[in-house]
A and B are shown apart, each in its own frame.
Chain A
Amino acid sequence: MTLGEARPAPVREKPVVGRGTQVFAHLGLILFSLLATLPTGLIIMNSFKDRISIFARPFALPTPTTFTLEGYQTVATSANFALFFLNSLLVTLGSLALILLCSSMAAFALSEYRFRLNTLTGLYLSLGIMVPIRLGTVGILNLMVDLHLVNTLWALILVYTAQGIPLAVFVLTSFMRGVPRDLKEAARIDGAGEYRIYGLILPLIRPALGAVTAISMIPIWNDLWFPLILAPGEKTKTVVLGASAFLGQFVNDYNAVLAALTLAIVPVVVLYVIFSRQLVSGITGGALK
């Protein structure tokens, strides 16, 4: 089955089950949606309340009398969250740019040319989909020490690029195979070189690039392991590592802890809502080939 066929039809289909089952299905979905969102909602809501009402009435909405930004002030004065955000942003964007560039080039070669090592290269690259990069941590740390990259953002960017390449190559190769041959042949007849043709193909697989971006982004932004090991310095901390250190330190200051949690939750949720469609197509398209 090609990916084109797999797209859902644009018209809304009728539900596949009868009325009674529909009601039960809605009830079940509402219940689980509440279960999935309420804990996060509780944290965000209470971050705007004063300490007494956080404890006394955890489920009450903030009112004008209980509203306070005290926690946010503590966070602002005692942690370098702005710097941590910038670090996370640089690491995530840097890795994504490298993943997209390297993987789309490799996927283009694998899908376009027949050469002796084609299948073998594809298999070699897809090993990394199943074998976790974390198992190479000892080797990675030694490598980064040798390269003098410990406590630099480059160490993280390189690791996340290596981690992201296998799945990205896999997804992009299957998409590139779907691009019509005629197009590339026509370009060749017009005298376009191979690099130019690669440039022409990229805009055609934009949805796939979006999907790869969305699935690669989340594990990079959220990772704790490699920042902890490769870049724990105050200048190179990512948001997740910074938040984890801050939470440990302010464990009893509920206002500050809830505010820090909220600051770490909200940007990701906003990004997720924006990229939600690409994310879904990325996960589902990549996993089923």
Chain B
Amino acid sequence: MLQPPRRARRPFPWHIVVFLAPAVLIYTAVMIYPILASLWLSLQTQVEGGAERFAGLANYRRLLGSELYAQPLWNAVRNNLVFFAIHMLVQNPVGLLLAVLLSFRLRGAALYRTLLFTPTVLSVVIIGFAWKLILNPAWGVQRGLLEPLGLQALDQPWLGLPGSALPTLSLISVWQNIGIPMLLFLAALVRIPDELYEAARLDGAGGWRIFRSIQLPLILPTVGIVSVLTFVGNFNAFDLIYSVQGALAGPNFASDILGTLFYRTFFGYQLQSGDEYMGAAVAGVMLGIILTGLLLYLAAVQRRLTEVEL
């Protein structure tokens, strides 16, 4: 038999397809396709008789323009911004502080880290209910803590007042999730080379000076990542508000955010029945907000990177 002079085309690399297929197929079928289908659905409407019809942006116009939908939507967007702001102002700075304290390589740092991360592994349903009990005026926990400190004035039904429900829920969420920024910051901090600390020690720098001049500048990229993760997580939040205040996000929608609004629009509640087209439109708005945030972040990072190159 004649040897072919040169090997012809290589055979098609079927093994690459086999390796990639399961992940790509499941991911496409259960995540990408439903998101696209949902966006497509938000452009449809149901005409009498049950048939679907392409409606263009009519659902979005209704969502942003009609009184029934626009008022709750803007209320949810506003509340969501407050929810996000509280996380950015409390969770991330305190998480950073804890990471810096852990990075000092004290005795027992691993134990502190484990304890501080514990709330993060618990289900939001459990956390929400536990805090609901603790803040419940009927169970004297709040009073028992505040009275010895002379702070009786702070003994209020925090979750029941329209003015304080949202900040209280935000702080519960901060309490639970603070471990994540803490770990991310810590991971960046442990990569700082020892020589820098050596030099600081020789110069007699204290904790604050080490933080200002060495740690903070070196972990700035992580600050960006943590902000983006907080943004995406917050504008997609649902579980805590739902488990503490129910689908109506009371009192009087004071704690309604986009996630709870999405749930109510899609599934309905009390007298209003659910509407999958409008639900899909709310999801479309949420996707728009999240993508806008991501693009702004990427644009900022891109600019920073080119500046560094120059």
- List the interface of chain A (C-beta within 8 A of B): 1, 6, 8, 12-18, 20-22, 24-26, 28-30, 32-33, 35-37, 39-40, 42-43, 54-55, 58-59, 98, 101-103, 105-106, 108-110, 113, 115, 121, 124-125, 127-128, 130-140, 142-143, 158-159, 161-163, 165-166, 169, 193-195, 198, 218, 221-225, 229, 239-240, 243-244, 247, 254, 257-258, 261, 264-265, 268-269, 271-273, 276, 279-280, 283-285, 287-288
Q: Is the CB of A121 within 8 A of B24?
A: yes
Residue in A closest to B101 when the chains form the complex, CB atoms: A25
A15, A54, A131: which contacts B35 (Cβ < 8 A)? Answer: A131
Residue in A closest to B131 when the chains form the complex, CB atoms: A39
- Chain B residues with CB under 8 Å of A229's CB are 267
Sorted nearest first, the 3 A-B pairs with minimum C-beta distance are A139-B34, A284-B187, A136-B34
Q: How far is the CB of B132 from chain A (nearest CB, A)?
A: 9
Q: Is the CB of A131 within 8 A of B22?
A: no
- Chain A residues with CB under 8 Å of B123's CB are 221-222, 224, 239-240, 243, 264, 268
Q: How far is the CB of A184 from chain B (nearest CB, A)?
A: 13
Asked if B183 CB lies within 8 Å of chain A CBs, one says yes
- Chain A residues with CB under 8 Å of B186's CB are 284
Asked if B308 CB lies within 8 Å of chain A CBs, one says no
Q: How far is the CB of B27 from chain A (nearest CB, A)?
A: 5
Residue in A closest to B130 when the chains form the complex, CB atoms: A43
User: Could you list 9 A-B pairs, sorted by A, with CB under 8 Å?
Assistant: A13-B105, A15-B105, A26-B106, A102-B22, A218-B120, A224-B243, A258-B133, A283-B180, A288-B222
A138, A247, A264 — most chain B CB neighbours (10 Å): A138
Q: How far is the CB of A195 from chain B (nearest CB, A)?
A: 7
- Chain B residues with CB under 8 Å of A136's CB are 31-35, 37-38, 283
Residue in B closest to A224 when the chains form the complex, CB atoms: B239
Once bound together, how far apart are the Cα atoms of A14 and B122, in whole Å? 33
Once bound together, how far apart are the Cα atoms of A88 and B233, in whole Å? 23
Q: Is the CB of B16 within 8 A of A247?
A: no
Q: Is the CB of A276 within 8 A of B24?
A: no
- List the interface of chain B (C-beta within 8 A of A): 13, 15-16, 18-20, 22-24, 26-27, 29-38, 41, 94, 97-98, 101-106, 108, 112-126, 129-131, 133-134, 138-141, 144, 175, 178, 180, 183-184, 186-188, 190-191, 194, 197, 200-201, 206-207, 210, 222, 225, 228-229, 232, 236, 238-239, 242-243, 259, 262, 266-267, 276, 279-280, 283, 286-287, 290-291, 294
Q: Is the CB of A22 within 8 A of B187?
A: no
Known: A137-B34, A138-B41, A162-B26. 15 other contacts (CB 8 A): A15-B104, A16-B103, A21-B207, A26-B108, A29-B101, A29-B116, A55-B140, A58-B144, A98-B26, A106-B24, A138-B266, A165-B27, A221-B123, A254-B139, A269-B118
- Chain B residues with CB under 8 Å of A279's CB are 117, 121
Q: How far is the CB of A57 from chain B (nearest CB, A)?
A: 8
Q: Given A136-B37, A195-B15, does the pair A163, B280 have CB atoms closer than 8 Å?
A: no
- Chain B residues with CB under 8 Å of A8's CB are 190
- Chain A residues with CB under 8 Å of B190's CB are 6, 8
Once bound together, how far apart are the Cα atoms of A20 and B29, in whole Å? 57
A18, A103, A108: which contacts B206 (Cβ < 8 A)? Answer: A18
Q: Is the CB of A16 within 8 A of B122?
A: no
Q: Is the CB of A103 within 8 A of B133?
A: no
Once bound together, how far apart are the Cα atoms of A24 and B208, in whole Å? 12
- Chain B residues with CB under 8 Å of A103's CB are 23
Q: Given A98-B26, A102-B26, A131-B35, does the pair A25, B232 have CB atoms closer than 8 Å?
A: no
Residue in A closest to B243 when the chains form the complex, CB atoms: A244
Once bound together, how far apart are the Cα atoms of A13 and B144, in whole Å? 42
- Chain A residues with CB under 8 Å of B138's CB are 55
Q: How far is the CB of B46 from chain A (nearest CB, A)?
A: 14
- Chain B residues with CB under 8 Å of A161's CB are 26, 30
Once bound together, how far apart are the Cα atoms of A283 and B97, in whole Å? 19
- Chain B residues with CB under 8 Å of A142's CB are 34, 37, 41, 276
Once bound together, how far apart are the Cα atoms of A109 and B17, in whole Å? 9
- Chain B residues with CB under 8 Å of A138's CB are 34, 37-38, 41, 266, 276, 279-280, 283
Q: Is the CB of A115 within 8 A of B183?
A: no
Q: Is the CB of A137 within 8 A of B112?
A: no
Q: Is the CB of A127 within 8 A of B131?
A: no
Q: Given A13-B194, A140-B34, does the pair A109, B20 have CB atoms closer than 8 Å?
A: yes
Residue in A closest to B259 when the chains form the complex, CB atoms: A134
- Chain B residues with CB under 8 Å of A128's CB are 27, 31-32
Q: Is the CB of A280 within 8 A of B242?
A: no
Residue in B closest to A245 when the chains form the complex, CB atoms: B125
Q: Is the CB of B232 within 8 A of A132?
A: yes
Q: How far is the CB of A5 from chain B (nearest CB, A)?
A: 9
